[in-house]
Structures are given as C-alpha cells and as structure tokens.
C-alpha cells in the first residue's frame, strides 16, 4: 500500500571528498540516477565541497545538503556556518543533530534552534536521532529517541512538515556494518513518527533509517511501512553503490 510519501535517499559523505573529487562523483552519479525515478536523492558533502557539488549537479534532480547548520544568521561563531551561507553555496538542505555532531557537543536545544533556523532560511532539514548500544541494551531506546524527537521539534510548527525529515540512526549501526533488522528499524521509525505527531502531520512526515545501509539491505529496510528512505554514510561514497540504494528505493 502506498503511503503517498515520496522516498528520500541521502548520502552523508562525512569528512570525505575534496571539491575536485566531488565533481567527479556528482557527474558519475547524475549519469546513474534517472531524473524520472520516483525518489528524492541528495548528497551531503563537506562544507568545502558544497559549491562544487551544487554546480556539478545543476540541472539534475539530485539535491545537495550540508552536514550541519548554525542557528545564528551571522556573528561571533568561529568555525560555524549559517543557513544563508549554505544557500549561497548552493545547498538545498542540511543535516542537523547527526550523532557525530551530538558526540562533539551539539545539544538538544541547539538541534531545535538549528532545525528552526534551517527551515526559516528555506532549507530542507534532516534531523537525526538515535540511541547508543548501552541505551538500547538497558531498555532505554524508546525513551531516548522520544526525548530527542520531542526536543528537536520543539520549535517546529505544522506548516513546516514539507521542509522537515527525521532520520532514525541508531549509533550502534553507524559505520559499524551492523544494521538494524527491518523489524527494529520499523519499530523505531514508527515511534519517531508517533512522537513527531505532536508537532506535524505524521502521515506527511518522512522518516528515514540510517546505519550501515548498503545495496544489499536497502530494499528490505525501505520496504518497512514507516521507513520512507535511507540516510547512507559509507555506502554513499561510491556512485555505483549509492545509485543502487537509490534504485532500491525506487
Ligand atoms: C551516517 O553517517 O549517517 C551513516 C548512517 O553512516 P553509515 O551508513 O556508514 O553507517
């Protein structure tokens, strides 16, 4: 049964690829991903490769998202980048609250402010959430993810639903090769959707799964009713492998 929600497959390059490398990747990807595929596709290059990626993908259906965005428009925030600057560089969206950012100190309050700032500037924001292995083993995964979603969406209104995506990414599955089972992914994404219902229409909200998604497991994960696509890291660094995940979503 169709959910009516268009799948999204995004590739988080983390701290990989120079601007020059991103050009080659984007040109190759654009040849592999068909513009008519019924799926939204985005790459998330490092800040320094945003502009080159956006230029290489101009005229294609593939979007470019940043990996983070600061909540302030400008000011004394050394090393940070605002939503307006990202848009100037060609970004269409931004990840917010990736677990690697949260591990570096990003708080729930900052995530909420960044979600708001990104949406206000016109970016599509992919807010990430997910529990650690210790939290899951202690039976606290639902409570953890519920808190992250509730607090991360604390400044979101119903009108924001089309500019918001949530990615459930259990930390124990990120970069480990250990993927959540489809049942685990479905259960967690359903919780995310239910919690988000306090802020936005849950039937319209896209919820992604991320954590060691690859061409071999993507189809069964994305076939889950509450999984509307994937946020892929390692497997998004190679155009063929990323295009295969896109094909699995289509
Ligand atoms: C990520 O970086 O968001 C991610 C899910 O990484 P990987 O696919 O490598 O686990």
| pLDDT tens, residue by residue, 220-245 | 999 999 999 999 999 999 999 999 99
Give the residue, by CA position, lying nearest to ligand 1 atom 3.
233
pLDDT for 193-205, tens place per residue?
999 999 999 999 9
- Cα angle at 105 between 230 and 154, to 5 degrees? 65
Ligand 1 atom nearest residue 177's Cα: 10
The share of the chain scoring above pLDDT 70, in percent, equals 100
How many C-beta neighbours within 10 Å does residue 102 have?
A: 18
Per residue in 42-89, pLDDT tens?
Answer: 999 999 999 999 999 999 999 999 999 999 999 999 999 999 999 999
pLDDT number for residue 78: 97
For ligand 1, the distance from its centroid to the CA atom of residue 144, given in whole angstroms, is 19
- pLDDT above 90: percentage of residues in the chain: 96
Annotated catalytic residue within 169, 178, 187, 240: 169
What is the spatial distance between Cα 25 and Cα 182, in angstroms, rounded to a whole number?
30
Burial track 119-130 (b if 16+ CB lie within 10 A, e otherwise): bebebbbbbbbb
Query: Which residue in 71, 98, 100, 131 is the catalytic one?
Result: 98
Q: Give dist(CA 165, CA 160) in Å, integer.
A: 10
User: What's the 75 CA to ligand 1 centre distance in angstroms?
Assistant: 31
Region 105-117: mean pLDDT is 98
Mean residue pLDDT across the chain:
97
pTM to 2 decimal places: 0.97
Q: Judge whether 98 counts as a catalytic residue.
A: yes
Q: Whose CA is nearest to atom 7 of ligand 1?
A: 233
Best probe residue, ligand 1, of 101, 176, 212 (max atoms within 8 Å of C-beta): 212
pLDDT at residue number 1: 56
Assign 207 a pLDDT band (cuts: 50, 70, 90). Answer: very high
Query: Structure tokens of 123?
Result: 């970016």
| Ligand 1 residue neighbourhood (C-beta within 6 Å) | 12, 14, 169, 174-175, 210-213, 231-235
Least confident of 32-36, 138-142, 179-183: 32-36
Name the residue of 10, 11, 133, 232 to mutate for ligand 1: max ligand atoms within 8 A of Cβ: 232
Task: Show the beta-strand stretches assigned E in the chain.
Answer: 8-12, 40-44, 62-66, 93-96, 124-129, 164-168, 206-210, 229-232
Q: What is the pLDDT of residue 235?
A: 97
Instruction: Write the pLDDT tens digit of every residue in 1-33.
Output: 578 999 999 999 999 999 999 999 999 999 999
Place of tokens 């990120």: 174
């Amino acid at each position: 049964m169709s959910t009516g929600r268009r799948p999204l497959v995004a590739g988080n390059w983390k701290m990989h690829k120079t601007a020059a490398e991103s050009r080659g990747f984007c040109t190759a990807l654009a040849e592999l991903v068909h513009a008519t595929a019924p799926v939204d596709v985005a790459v998330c290059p490092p800040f320094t490769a945003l502009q080159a990626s956006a230029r290489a993908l101009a005229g294609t259906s593939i979007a470019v998202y940043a990996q983070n965005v600061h909540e302030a428009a400008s000011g004394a925030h050394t090393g940070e980048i605002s939503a307006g600057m990202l848009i100037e560089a060609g970004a269409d969206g931004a990840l917010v609250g990736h677990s690697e950012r949260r591990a570096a100190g990003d708080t729930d309050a900052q995530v909420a402010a960044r979600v708001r700032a990104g949406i206000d500037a016109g970016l599509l924001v992919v807010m990430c959430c997910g529990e650690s292995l210790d939290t899951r083993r202690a039976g606290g995964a639902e409570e953890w993810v519920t808190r992250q979603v509730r607090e991360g969406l604390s400044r979101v209104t119903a009108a924001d639903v089309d500019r918001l995506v949530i990615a459930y990414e259990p930390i124990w599955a990120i970069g480990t090769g250990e993927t959540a089972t489809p049942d685990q992914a479905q259960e967690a994404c359903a919780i995310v959707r239910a919690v988000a219902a306090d802020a936005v229409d849950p039937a319209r909200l896209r919820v992604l799964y991320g954590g060691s998604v690859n061409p071999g497991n993507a189809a069964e994960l994305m076939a889950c009713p509450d999984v509307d696509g994937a946020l892929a890291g390692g497997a998004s660094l190679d155009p063929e492998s990323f295009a295969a995940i896109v094909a699995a979503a289509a």
